[in-house]
Amino acid sequence: MRTTPPIRVRNLVAAFGDNVVLRDVSLDVAAGEILVIMGGSGSGKSTLLRHMLGLLKPVSGDMELLGIDTASATDKQWMALRRRMGVAFQSGALFSSMNVGDNIRLPLRERTGLDPETIDIMMRIKLDVVNLPGCEDLMPAELSGGMIKRAALARALIMDPELLFLDEPSAGLDPVIAASLDELLLQLRDATGMSVVVITHELESAFKIADRICVLDRGEVIALGTVDEVRNSDSERVQALLTRKVESPKFEPQAYLQQLIGASSARRVN
Ligand code: ADP
Ligand code: MG
């Protein structure tokens, strides 16, 4: 019997050079649970995800995934672990040069010795699961935003992972399509008992899918609890995030100027 939850993070500290990006982050994700990670832009959400995937090494802290202590895990153990994890990143969801079917077959071709017929059947099953039956021959450029996210989800699910990590799965989708993706995630959680970590800044989606929510602010966990607990939090920082109020405790000309410059360059990009 497993005594620790499938995902267990303790006192994780992460930095890029001198820039400390995660401060003492601790969380668990149980089997069959969806943990939603929320927080403003730059709060450390993607960095936390990359640590959980073993793509970055923490400055300090402990992490256990599926009962394996990741700090002492060998490359071989990490490889075995990754086979049990599914991931869909925020950007670069699909390889544009491959059709949908090949995108989804890829992990099976690379990581298993299964024969092409079996791989084909598994690919079709996963396309059915994400409501894209018969779409295997389409190229990514022929898909709508919602279909791309679904296809990326099918690829993340292809190995029947025990841990699923999704970075902004519904970003940029229209609300109806985003809601159907949420519905799909809930069904998957119930059907598979996976531990799911979802990063999102969509409040409505978070409240709908989360068993628990972890709110990050400047690398710190400022709330961790059920949807109701987080919604009813009396922390001003949590409420500011939930109501999208901009925090400006005191006026700092230099920071304000930086904000203006940042904002105008962001607008140019858009
Ligand atoms: P979020 O996903 O919440 O928007 P990130 O985890 O991407 O935030 O970033 C958190 C902080 O870490 C930001 O200050 C960002 O500039 C910094 N950061 C992220 N990735 C890198 C990187 N590869 N190199 C240096 N700094 C980074
Ligand atoms: Mg991010």
Q: Are 26 and 205 in contact (CB under 8 A)?
A: no
> What pLDDT is attached to residue 255?
59
The Å distance, Cα 238 to ligand 1 centre, comes to: 20
- At residue 247, does pLDDT exceed 60? no
For a substitution probing ligand 1, which of 36, 45, 46, 57 has the most ligand atoms within 8 Å of its CB? Answer: 46
Q: Among 69-73, 108-112, 192-196, 246-250, which stretch is predicted with the lowest mean pLDDT?
A: 246-250
Three-state SS string across the chain, please?
CCCCCCEEEEEEEEEECCEEEEEEEEEEECCCCEEEEEECCCCCHHHHHHHHCCCCCCCEEEEEECCEEHHHCCHHHHHHHHHCEEEECCCCCCCCCCCHHHHHHHHHHHHCCCCHHHHHHHHHHHHHHCCCCCCCCCCHHHCCHHHHHHHHHHHHHCCCCCEEEEECCCCCCCHHHHHHHHHHHHHHHHHHCCEEEEECCCHHHHHHHCCEEEEEECCEEEEEECHHHHHCCCCHHHHHHHCCCCCCCCCCHHHHHHHHHHHHHHHHHC
> Which ligand sits closest to the CA of 22?
1
> What pLDDT is attached to residue 178?
86
**Using CA atoms, how far apart are residues 5 and 261, in angstroms rounded to an integer?**
44
The Å distance, Cα 92 to ligand 2 centre, comes to: 13
> 33 φ, ψ to 5°?
-115, 140
Q: Whose CA is nearest to atom 27 of ligand 1?
A: 16
> Which ligand sits closest to the CA of 217?
1
- All structural domains of the chain, each given as residue ranges with its CATH number in brackets, are 30-56+75-84+161-270 (3.40.50.300), 94-157 (no CATH)
The Å distance, Cα 122 to ligand 2 centre, comes to: 31
> What pLDDT is attached to residue 266?
41
Pocket of ligand 1 from Cβ distances under 6 Å? 16, 21, 39, 41-47
pTM of the model: 0.86
Percent of the chain scoring above 90 in pLDDT: 71
**Using CA atoms, how far apart are residues 218 and 212, in angstroms rounded to an integer?**
20
Q: Whose CA is nearest to atom 22 of ligand 1?
A: 16
The Å distance, Cα 223 to ligand 2 centre, comes to: 18
216 Cα nearest atom in ligand 1: 3
49 Cα nearest atom in ligand 1: 6
- Residue-wise pLDDT for 167-186, tens only, equals 988 877 888 888 888 999 99
All residues at 6 or more sequence positions from 225 whose CB lies less than 8 Å from its CB, including other chains: 212, 213, 233
- Residue-wise pLDDT for 30-65, tens only, equals 999 999 999 999 999 999 999 999 999 999 999 999
> Which ligand sits closest to the CA of 47?
1
> Which ligand sits closest to the CA of 41?
1
